[in-house]
Structure 1
Amino acid sequence: MSAGLLLTSAGCAPGGDAEPEVEPDAVTPVELPFEISGWSEIVLSVSDLSVHESFYRDVASWNVRHRGRIGTDQLSQWGLDAEGVSAEDILLGNADETRGFVRLVRFDGVEKRQIRSNTQSWDTGGIFDFNVRVADMQAKFGQMQQLGWQGATDPMQFTFGPFTVIEWLPRGPDGVMLALIQRLAPPLEGWDNLREFSRTFNATQIVRDIDAALDFYVNVLGFQVYLEHRGASPEPGENVLGLPHNLAVEEERIIYIVHPEGLNEGSVELLQFAGLRGRDVSDLAVPPNLGSMALRFPVRGIDALVERLRQNDIPLETDLADVDLPPYGAVRSFAVRAPDGAWMEFFEVQSPGS
């Protein structure tokens, strides 16, 4: 979900269309002995591979980059019984893209629960949604409704500054939520591979304490702030988050988009509702539970990153280990959890002979 999705005409641009009116606080990047890139894929734990594969193939017009069985090394790293549990995965992406992938994983032989089962937008924990651009919102809306996808509202069109957009937050099988964005005017530039769905480029986490989340991402991991905004809707009315119309003008939303290089490409969006309290599902945001299960970040200098986390008393959820991760090959990887439970995996591709 983008800041535009949150605030509509309150002055923020969805999906990085423009700079925010409120400039981020000045942050001097810290020199760190490792280099994290924006996340390259989001991992979805699903109950039926064929249902999700058909969606990304037929609705998104994506193609398969990898299909196979997950090795016992990865299962063991997730803390699963590699002798009793098996898993298959499919990596999909928009044609001609080298990032912004979706990896589908189906686990067998283990109990699973939905991470964000029947949650409201203000319920905290895990990964709330991930963004894609669409070429024709009304066509996608019709297709996806036929497949059972539903949102808190129908797609909403609005204008802010020079931009006119349509946006929709639909939820589908296994509780997976997308944020669809169509630019109407001016013409979209820099997205030459957009056919039906673009690559995915941003993922949102609903957080209890924005300061704790920022401390983790900015002060520990060294991410930079791409966008900052605080505010409520400018007038009562329908909003994509499903807030009561009269409360939308009263409820302040605090939003930061952060990224290792301050970009909106593999970025993490943090959203806190200042006055609303709901369920917290952080404890469920672990493998093999269903839904948006993990973000995967490429790294250079992964040993230094592990040491940085330990110095800041951030526990590793999985030990640093050698894992086969197709199509990248042999990698060293580990996982940590963000303050509100989002499962984050960091991996470094190993050079031959290393």
Structure 2
Amino acid sequence: MEHVTPGDLVSRDNGFHEAVALVSDAQAAAARLCGATGFALRHAGKVALGTFRLLGLEEAGGEEVLVMHPQAGRGGIRLVAPGGAWQPLARDGAQAWDSGGIFDVNLRALGDIEDLHARFGRHGWHAIAPVTAWDFGSLAVKEVIERDSEGLEIALMQRIRPPLTGYEGLEGPASWVFNSTQIVPDFAAARRLYVDALGWLPVQETDGFAAGDASGENCMGLPPGLAPGVPMRIGIYQAQGAMAGSVEIIAFGAGGRDFSAQTVPPRRGWTALRFAVADADDFARRTADGGCEVVGPVELDWAPWGGGRAVAAITPWGARLEAIAA
């Protein structure tokens, strides 16, 4: 496998490079993911030096596996299985509209989304609601959210119109991870972190309801009879304003539960988004100004990308943002 430093990555100061999940069995979780998505193994080995310190945990041994789209240079998924006792889920019992931690990561369906949904089902995943069609006039998409036993949730999206661009020549059933969602209890506070503190640019901002029309159909699992009346505010942000390694925040007016206090390692599920940055100390200062608790700096062995000075910023709603300097 090639050895690349973070400074060579296309994602440097340009969105997250990979999503990190804590799981009970890294090899089994990787097999389910690769079977469903067409991803391939990029790295496997002992949990890297510095990983547990960055997570605020004692060294525990274990294994980590990185899977990626075989043609992509970003948008991978790193599965970390610590040694020791079995752990509960970070969002155990949470519904899609409940706040706290990292809710999901997003993939493009490169073919028919129904075929990709069936492929996920054959590999042990299930949807939280039926495949849903959204028609906004100039934009039409289909979406479904898949879930597995490790607490991982993946939103699959198929562009109907206009034609999808930026993925030309990409083969396989699904794209690399291009976006990740956090359900937040306070939209204004989350926006201040990403826009005012970190200086990221809005990719998209909308203020509407959980269903696109009176039918109430939605991919989040809200009852169709209620969804048209549930307020939903969405913002997508990224350092360069691109839908690539972007962070999406959603606030529902549904009176949901808040799981922020329990979305902490070593609980299983989506754990962190990892960013390659020019200056980890600046990232730490900015996120602290935005209300985050900061862990580090730590020297992290980030295989196969090399090593670097790393910090972790924990948002007030329990999402973890890890930044590794070139």
User: Equivalent residue for 2:268?
Assistant: 290
Give deviations 1:94-150, integer Å, cap 9, x for gaps.
Answer: 122111111111111145220111311111101111110112322222232233422
Q: Does 1:99 align with 2:77?
A: no
Identity %: 33
Larger Rg: 1
Structure 1 residue 302 displacement after superposition: 2.0
Change (3 A) 1:163 1:194: farther
When normalised by structure 1's length, the TM-score is: 0.82
Instruction: Report what 2:201 is aligned to.
Output: 224
**Residue of structure 1 aligned with 2:238, choices 259, 265, 269:** 259
Contact 2:236 2:246 in 1 (8 A): yes
| Aligned pairs for 1:25-174 within 5 A | 36-82=13-59, 85-110=60-85, 112-134=87-109, 135-174=111-150
Aligned to 1:249: 228
Which residue of the partner structure matches residue 178 of structure 2? 201
Residues 292 and 315, structure 2, Cα contact 8 Å, conserved in 1: no
Deviates more, 1:154-163 or 1:211-220: 154-163
Which range is displaced more, 152-161 or 289-298?
A: 152-161
Higher mean C-alpha deviation, range 191-200 or range 307-316: 307-316
Partners of 1:67 and 1:179 in 2: how far apart? 25
SS in 1 for 2:180: strand
Q: Which residue of 2 is the match for residue 305 of structure 1?
A: 283
* Cα gap change, 1:278 to 1:185, in 2 (>3 Å): closer
User: SS state of the match for residue 218, structure 1?
Assistant: helix
| 2:248 counterpart (260, 263, 269) | 269
1:311 shift after superposition: 5.3
Asked if 1:212 corresponds to 2:212, the answer is no
Deviations 1:288-345 (A, max 9, x none): 22011110111112223333445566431x2112121111111110101122110110
Gap runs ≥5 in structure 2: 1-11
Comparing 327-336 and 182-191, the one that deviates more: 182-191
1:5-43 per-position Cα deviation (integer Å, ceiling 9, x unaligned):
xxxxxxxxxxxxxxxxxxxxxxxxxxxxxx832001000
Cα pair distance change 1:325/1:239, threshold 3 Å: same
Inter-CA distance 308–239: structure 2 relative to 1 (3 Å threshold): closer
> 2:8: which partner in 1?
none
One-letter amino acid of the counterpart of residue 274, structure 2? R
Aligned to 1:278: 256
Q: Distance in 2 between matches of 1:168 and 1:311?
A: 36
C-alpha distance in 1 between matches for 2:179 and 2:205: 15
Amino acid at match of 2:189: A
Shift of 1:186: 4.4
**1:207 and 1:310 mapped to 2: Cα distance?**
18
Instruction: Extract unaligned runs of 5+ from structure 1.
Output: 1-34, 350-354
SS in 2 for 1:174: coil
Determine the C-alpha separation between the residues in 1 that align with 2:138 and 2:293.
45
Q: Is the 8 A contact 1:62 1:95 kept in 2?
A: yes
Aligned residues: 311
Query: What CA distance in whole angstroms lies between the structure 2 residues aligned with 1:222 and 1:263?
Result: 14
1:216–1:339: 8 Å Cα contact kept in structure 2?
A: no
Question: RMSD of the alignment, in Å?
Answer: 1.9
From the superposition, tell whether residues 204 and 308 of structure 1 become closer, same or farther in structure 2 (CA, over 3 Å): closer
